[in-house]
Amino acid sequence: MNRSFQEEALFETQFWMQVLGDHSRFIHDSLAPSEKERITKSQQFITVFDRLLDSTREPLQPNQMTTIIQKGRTAAEQLRKLKLDIIKNQLVGKVKISLSPSFINHMVNELEEWLRVSSFLVEGKNVPYTHALHHHLIWLLDAAGHAGGIVSNLDRVEKELIQKSEKFVKEWEEFYLKAVEMVGFLRTSQYEFPALSRFNNDVEIEMKIFKGFLEELEEMELNKEILGVLTPLMADHMAREECYYLIKLAQATKETNPHNCDPTKPRVQE
Protein backbone atom coordinates (compact mmCIF):
# COMPACT_ATOMS: atom_id res chain seq x y z
CA MET A 1 0.00 0.00 0.00
CA ASN A 2 1.37 3.40 -0.92
CA ARG A 3 1.36 6.43 1.32
CA SER A 4 -1.51 8.16 -0.43
CA PHE A 5 -3.73 5.13 0.11
CA GLN A 6 -2.79 4.95 3.78
CA GLU A 7 -3.63 8.62 4.24
CA GLU A 8 -6.97 8.28 2.49
CA ALA A 9 -7.88 5.13 4.39
CA LEU A 10 -7.05 6.79 7.70
CA PHE A 11 -8.95 9.97 6.83
CA GLU A 12 -12.09 8.17 5.69
CA THR A 13 -12.11 5.66 8.53
CA GLN A 14 -11.58 8.27 11.24
CA PHE A 15 -14.31 10.48 9.81
CA TRP A 16 -16.86 7.72 9.37
CA MET A 17 -16.23 5.83 12.61
CA GLN A 18 -16.80 9.06 14.52
CA VAL A 19 -19.92 9.93 12.49
CA LEU A 20 -21.41 6.47 13.04
CA GLY A 21 -20.55 6.73 16.72
CA ASP A 22 -22.45 10.03 16.76
CA HIS A 23 -25.43 8.39 15.05
CA SER A 24 -25.44 5.67 17.70
CA ARG A 25 -25.46 8.33 20.42
CA PHE A 26 -28.33 10.23 18.79
CA ILE A 27 -30.40 7.06 18.59
CA HIS A 28 -29.52 6.01 22.14
CA ASP A 29 -30.35 9.41 23.64
CA SER A 30 -33.64 9.80 21.76
CA LEU A 31 -35.20 6.41 22.56
CA ALA A 32 -37.85 6.26 25.27
CA PRO A 33 -36.80 4.42 28.48
CA SER A 34 -39.23 1.63 27.60
CA GLU A 35 -37.21 0.82 24.46
CA LYS A 36 -34.76 -1.24 26.49
CA GLU A 37 -33.60 -3.62 23.75
CA ARG A 38 -32.89 -0.86 21.24
CA ILE A 39 -31.15 1.22 23.91
CA THR A 40 -28.88 -1.73 24.67
CA LYS A 41 -28.12 -2.24 20.97
CA SER A 42 -27.34 1.43 20.41
CA GLN A 43 -25.02 1.45 23.43
CA GLN A 44 -23.20 -1.53 21.96
CA PHE A 45 -22.73 0.38 18.70
CA ILE A 46 -21.37 3.38 20.61
CA THR A 47 -18.77 1.10 22.19
CA VAL A 48 -17.85 -0.60 18.90
CA PHE A 49 -17.42 2.58 16.86
CA ASP A 50 -15.55 4.35 19.66
CA ARG A 51 -13.10 1.45 19.93
CA LEU A 52 -12.54 1.39 16.18
CA LEU A 53 -12.01 5.17 16.16
CA ASP A 54 -9.53 4.91 19.04
CA SER A 55 -7.68 2.17 17.15
CA THR A 56 -7.13 4.48 14.17
CA ARG A 57 -5.41 7.01 16.43
CA GLU A 58 -2.64 4.58 17.33
CA PRO A 59 0.36 3.62 15.15
CA LEU A 60 -0.91 1.10 12.59
CA GLN A 61 0.49 -1.44 10.19
CA PRO A 62 -1.25 -1.65 6.77
CA ASN A 63 -2.89 -4.98 7.62
CA GLN A 64 -4.25 -3.52 10.87
CA MET A 65 -5.91 -0.68 8.96
CA THR A 66 -7.60 -3.20 6.67
CA THR A 67 -8.91 -5.10 9.69
CA ILE A 68 -10.36 -1.92 11.20
CA ILE A 69 -12.06 -1.04 7.91
CA GLN A 70 -13.59 -4.52 7.66
CA LYS A 71 -14.84 -4.34 11.25
CA GLY A 72 -16.21 -0.87 10.51
CA ARG A 73 -18.10 -2.25 7.51
CA THR A 74 -19.55 -5.12 9.52
CA ALA A 75 -20.66 -2.84 12.35
CA ALA A 76 -22.15 -0.36 9.87
CA GLU A 77 -24.18 -3.09 8.17
CA GLN A 78 -25.59 -4.08 11.57
CA LEU A 79 -26.31 -0.44 12.48
CA ARG A 80 -28.10 -0.05 9.15
CA LYS A 81 -30.43 -2.88 10.13
CA LEU A 82 -31.20 -1.14 13.44
CA LYS A 83 -31.90 2.19 11.74
CA LEU A 84 -34.19 0.60 9.15
CA ASP A 85 -35.96 -1.40 11.86
CA ILE A 86 -36.64 1.82 13.76
CA ILE A 87 -37.96 3.57 10.64
CA LYS A 88 -40.14 0.56 9.76
CA ASN A 89 -41.70 0.61 13.22
CA GLN A 90 -42.02 4.40 13.24
CA LEU A 91 -44.12 4.24 10.09
CA VAL A 92 -46.74 2.17 11.91
CA GLY A 93 -46.36 3.75 15.35
CA LYS A 94 -44.60 0.85 17.07
CA VAL A 95 -41.48 2.53 18.46
CA LYS A 96 -41.01 5.44 20.86
CA ILE A 97 -38.21 7.72 19.69
CA SER A 98 -37.92 11.49 19.36
CA LEU A 99 -35.94 11.47 16.09
CA SER A 100 -38.06 11.84 12.95
CA PRO A 101 -38.13 9.13 10.26
CA SER A 102 -36.52 11.53 7.78
CA PHE A 103 -33.68 12.33 10.18
CA ILE A 104 -32.93 8.62 10.63
CA ASN A 105 -33.33 8.07 6.89
CA HIS A 106 -30.61 10.66 6.25
CA MET A 107 -28.39 8.77 8.68
CA VAL A 108 -28.97 5.65 6.58
CA ASN A 109 -27.93 7.58 3.46
CA GLU A 110 -24.69 8.60 5.16
CA LEU A 111 -24.00 5.08 6.40
CA GLU A 112 -24.43 3.73 2.89
CA GLU A 113 -21.85 6.22 1.65
CA TRP A 114 -19.38 4.72 4.14
CA LEU A 115 -20.21 1.27 2.80
CA ARG A 116 -19.52 2.52 -0.73
CA VAL A 117 -16.25 4.22 0.21
CA SER A 118 -15.02 1.34 2.34
CA SER A 119 -15.77 -1.21 -0.39
CA PHE A 120 -12.71 0.18 -2.20
CA LEU A 121 -10.55 0.72 0.87
CA VAL A 122 -11.02 -2.80 2.20
CA GLU A 123 -9.52 -4.10 -1.06
CA GLY A 124 -6.53 -1.80 -0.75
CA LYS A 125 -7.78 0.54 -3.48
CA ASN A 126 -8.08 4.31 -3.44
CA VAL A 127 -11.65 5.57 -3.66
CA PRO A 128 -12.29 6.80 -7.22
CA TYR A 129 -13.31 10.43 -7.45
CA THR A 130 -17.04 10.69 -7.99
CA HIS A 131 -18.96 13.38 -9.82
CA ALA A 132 -19.84 16.46 -7.76
CA LEU A 133 -23.54 15.71 -8.15
CA HIS A 134 -23.10 12.43 -6.27
CA HIS A 135 -21.98 14.42 -3.24
CA HIS A 136 -24.66 17.06 -3.75
CA LEU A 137 -27.43 14.46 -3.62
CA ILE A 138 -26.18 13.06 -0.31
CA TRP A 139 -25.13 16.20 1.51
CA LEU A 140 -27.60 18.86 0.31
CA LEU A 141 -30.56 16.81 1.51
CA ASP A 142 -28.64 16.17 4.70
CA ALA A 143 -27.92 19.89 5.17
CA ALA A 144 -31.62 20.67 4.76
CA GLY A 145 -32.33 18.10 7.46
CA HIS A 146 -29.66 19.66 9.67
CA ALA A 147 -31.16 23.12 9.34
CA GLY A 148 -34.65 21.74 9.94
CA GLY A 149 -33.42 19.88 13.00
CA ILE A 150 -32.01 23.10 14.41
CA VAL A 151 -35.39 24.81 13.97
CA SER A 152 -37.21 22.04 15.84
CA ASN A 153 -34.66 21.93 18.66
CA LEU A 154 -34.53 25.65 19.43
CA ASP A 155 -36.85 27.28 21.94
CA ARG A 156 -39.51 29.28 20.09
CA VAL A 157 -38.21 32.54 21.66
CA GLU A 158 -34.93 32.18 19.72
CA LYS A 159 -36.58 33.95 16.78
CA GLU A 160 -33.41 35.21 15.07
CA LEU A 161 -31.69 31.82 15.09
CA ILE A 162 -34.87 30.10 13.96
CA GLN A 163 -35.27 32.52 11.05
CA LYS A 164 -31.67 31.96 9.97
CA SER A 165 -32.15 28.19 10.14
CA GLU A 166 -35.40 28.33 8.17
CA LYS A 167 -33.62 30.35 5.48
CA PHE A 168 -30.99 27.61 5.23
CA VAL A 169 -33.70 24.93 4.98
CA LYS A 170 -35.21 26.75 2.00
CA GLU A 171 -31.83 27.25 0.31
CA TRP A 172 -30.68 23.65 0.75
CA GLU A 173 -33.97 22.25 -0.50
CA GLU A 174 -33.82 24.49 -3.57
CA PHE A 175 -30.22 23.46 -4.22
CA TYR A 176 -31.17 19.80 -3.82
CA LEU A 177 -33.98 20.05 -6.39
CA LYS A 178 -31.57 21.70 -8.80
CA ALA A 179 -29.05 18.90 -8.24
CA VAL A 180 -31.71 16.28 -8.97
CA GLU A 181 -32.46 17.94 -12.30
CA MET A 182 -28.77 18.21 -13.16
CA VAL A 183 -28.25 14.50 -12.54
CA GLY A 184 -30.68 13.93 -15.40
CA PHE A 185 -28.51 16.07 -17.67
CA LEU A 186 -25.61 13.64 -17.18
CA ARG A 187 -27.48 11.17 -19.39
CA THR A 188 -26.20 13.28 -22.29
CA SER A 189 -22.62 12.31 -21.28
CA GLN A 190 -21.88 16.03 -20.85
CA TYR A 191 -20.33 15.86 -17.38
CA GLU A 192 -19.13 19.46 -17.14
CA PHE A 193 -21.00 22.59 -18.23
CA PRO A 194 -21.13 26.26 -17.17
CA ALA A 195 -24.39 26.05 -15.20
CA LEU A 196 -22.95 23.18 -13.14
CA SER A 197 -19.77 25.15 -12.48
CA ARG A 198 -21.82 28.08 -11.18
CA PHE A 199 -23.93 25.70 -9.09
CA ASN A 200 -20.85 24.12 -7.50
CA ASN A 201 -19.49 27.55 -6.64
CA ASP A 202 -22.82 28.75 -5.21
CA VAL A 203 -23.09 25.66 -3.01
CA GLU A 204 -19.55 26.10 -1.74
CA ILE A 205 -20.14 29.74 -0.77
CA GLU A 206 -23.39 29.00 1.03
CA MET A 207 -21.99 25.88 2.74
CA LYS A 208 -19.12 27.90 4.19
CA ILE A 209 -21.64 30.32 5.67
CA PHE A 210 -23.74 27.46 7.07
CA LYS A 211 -20.70 25.75 8.56
CA GLY A 212 -19.77 29.00 10.31
CA PHE A 213 -23.33 29.25 11.64
CA LEU A 214 -23.10 25.71 13.03
CA GLU A 215 -19.81 26.50 14.75
CA GLU A 216 -21.38 29.58 16.35
CA LEU A 217 -24.29 27.45 17.59
CA GLU A 218 -21.88 24.89 19.04
CA GLU A 219 -20.00 27.61 20.92
CA MET A 220 -23.21 29.16 22.23
CA GLU A 221 -24.50 25.75 23.32
CA LEU A 222 -21.28 24.99 25.17
CA ASN A 223 -21.65 28.33 26.97
CA LYS A 224 -25.35 27.65 27.67
CA GLU A 225 -26.31 30.81 25.79
CA ILE A 226 -29.12 29.27 23.71
CA LEU A 227 -32.57 28.21 24.87
CA GLY A 228 -33.66 24.87 23.49
CA VAL A 229 -32.62 21.23 23.35
CA LEU A 230 -29.99 21.40 20.61
CA THR A 231 -26.82 19.78 21.95
CA PRO A 232 -23.23 20.90 21.29
CA LEU A 233 -22.55 17.41 19.88
CA MET A 234 -25.34 17.76 17.32
CA ALA A 235 -23.98 21.10 16.07
CA ASP A 236 -20.41 19.76 16.10
CA HIS A 237 -21.49 16.64 14.19
CA MET A 238 -23.24 18.74 11.56
CA ALA A 239 -20.23 21.04 11.12
CA ARG A 240 -17.88 18.06 10.65
CA GLU A 241 -20.15 16.65 7.96
CA GLU A 242 -20.34 19.98 6.12
CA CYS A 243 -16.53 20.17 6.26
CA TYR A 244 -16.31 16.68 4.71
CA TYR A 245 -18.76 17.75 1.99
CA LEU A 246 -16.66 20.81 1.15
CA ILE A 247 -13.51 18.67 0.92
CA LYS A 248 -15.22 16.14 -1.36
CA LEU A 249 -16.59 18.94 -3.52
CA ALA A 250 -13.10 20.41 -3.88
CA GLN A 251 -11.75 17.01 -4.94
CA ALA A 252 -14.49 16.59 -7.55
CA THR A 253 -14.50 20.04 -9.16
CA LYS A 254 -12.34 22.79 -10.60
CA GLU A 255 -14.64 25.51 -9.26
CA THR A 256 -14.24 25.00 -5.52
CA ASN A 257 -11.18 25.40 -3.32
CA PRO A 258 -9.49 23.06 -0.81
CA HIS A 259 -10.51 23.71 2.78
CA ASN A 260 -8.40 23.71 5.90
CA CYS A 261 -11.13 22.41 8.21
CA ASP A 262 -10.69 18.93 9.71
CA PRO A 263 -13.74 16.63 9.67
CA THR A 264 -11.80 14.02 11.65
CA LYS A 265 -11.19 16.27 14.68
CA PRO A 266 -12.33 14.71 17.97
CA ARG A 267 -16.00 15.25 18.78
CA VAL A 268 -16.90 17.96 21.26
CA GLN A 269 -17.13 16.83 24.87
CA GLU A 270 -20.24 18.15 26.57
pLDDT score of 111: 99
Contact 169, 176 (CB under 8 A): no
Q: Which CATH class is domain 129-270?
A: mainly alpha
How many CB atoms are located within 10 Å of the residue 130 CB? 15
pLDDT score of 39: 98
In whole numbers, what is the pLDDT of the chain averaged over residues? Answer: 96
Say if 1-127 and 129-270 have the same CATH topology: yes
pLDDT score of 221: 94
pLDDT score of 200: 96
Question: How does pLDDT run across 143-170, given as a tens digit for each residue?
Answer: 999 999 999 999 999 999 999 999 999 9
pLDDT score of 105: 98
Separation CA 86–CA 178 (nearest Å): 30
Question: How does pLDDT run across 190-206, given as a tens digit for each residue?
Answer: 999 999 999 999 999 99
Helix runs in the chain, H state only: 3-30, 36-56, 62-90, 101-121, 132-153, 159-185, 194-222, 232-252
pLDDT score of 1: 42
Pick the CATH number of 1-127 from 1.10.287.130, 1.25.40.10, 1.20.1260.120, 3.20.20.140: 1.20.1260.120
Contact 24, 49 (CB under 8 A): yes
Segments making up each domain of the chain, as ranges: 1-127, 129-270
Report how far Cα 101 is from the mean position of its chain's Cα atoms: 16
Half-sphere exposure of 143 (CA within 13 A, CB side): 34
Contact 215, 261 (CB under 8 A): no
What residues in the chain have per-residue pLDDT under 50? 1-2
pTM: 0.95
